[in-house]
Amino acid sequence: MALTRKALKAMGITDEQVDSIIDMHTETVDALKEQIKTAQKRAADLEGIEKQFEELKANNSEDYKGRYEAEHKAFEDYKNEQQKKETHAAKEAAARKYFKDAGIDGANLEIAMRGAREEIDALEIEGEAIKDSKSLESLVKGTYAGLVITREKRGAQTSTPPTQAGGGATTMTKAEIMKIKDTAARQKAIAENIELFRR
């Protein structure tokens, strides 16, 4: 039942009391109307905020996904690059040992290492050992045969005793060694006096 003047008078309420009740009721209704308006405005604002939030979430999700993929790719590239470097270093170490064991040493070893880049890159290694060393073996027996230094152990020559005070063999100077025209003899002299070439 609606709150009207007629209804209040029918209850036996005086005119002054009716006016007072109607005023209070009007204030209450007006306040409730204001609250409804505020709530409706907030609901509309909330709808807009929710829409903005969903858009931001979608955009950030795309950005995040893109950033994640880019960073993940950069990390994988870095990891692969490091793996390649480690593998290459292991192959070089294995090839260096193989050449040394075959008798290529000193400056000749550096020449062999520089010249065998393709063969070294193609090597397959297991730990520190080369799985198949045929390519290096063919280089040592063929192209690099002149780099192999053979060392012979001889006893002291009694017919030509040592001339140095310390009892060691006669050494040559670097200039004397470089004047030797025969390649094999020069390489042998270099090997015997390798300290001159390491300075």
Domain ranges of the chain: 14-142, 172-199
What is the mean pLDDT of the segment spanning 2-27? 82
Residue 79's CB: how many other CB atoms inside 10 A?
A: 10
- pLDDT at residue 169 greater than cutoff 80: no
Amino acid, res. 143: T
What is the mean pLDDT of the segment spanning 119-130? 82
User: How confident is the model at residue 156, as a pLDDT?
Assistant: 54
In tens, the pLDDT along 90-121 reads: 888 888 888 888 888 888 888 888 888 888 88
Percentage of the chain lying above the pLDDT 90 cut = 1
User: How confident is the model at residue 165, as a pLDDT?
Assistant: 42
User: How confident is the model at residue 104, as a pLDDT?
Assistant: 85
Better-predicted residue by pLDDT, 166 or 90: 90
- pLDDT at residue 163 greater than cutoff 60: no
C-alpha span between 192 and 38 (Å, rounded)? 102
User: How confident is the model at residue 168, as a pLDDT?
Assistant: 46
In tens, the pLDDT along 35-57 reads: 999 988 888 888 888 888 887 77
C-alpha span between 189 and 170 (Å, rounded)? 11
Ranges 65-74, 86-95, 145-154: which has the least confidence: 145-154
Backbone dihedral angles phi then psi of residue 130, each to the nearest 5 degrees: -85, 130
Written as six digits, the tokens of 136 are 């290096």
Amino acid, res. 160: T
User: How confident is the model at residue 115, as a pLDDT?
Assistant: 82
- pLDDT at residue 77 greater than cutoff 60: yes
Cα–Cα–Cα angle for 121, 123, 127, rounded to 5 degrees: 115
H-assigned helices in the chain: 5-10, 15-101, 106-115, 117-122, 134-141, 174-178, 183-192, 194-197
What is the DSSP code (8-state) at residue 30? H
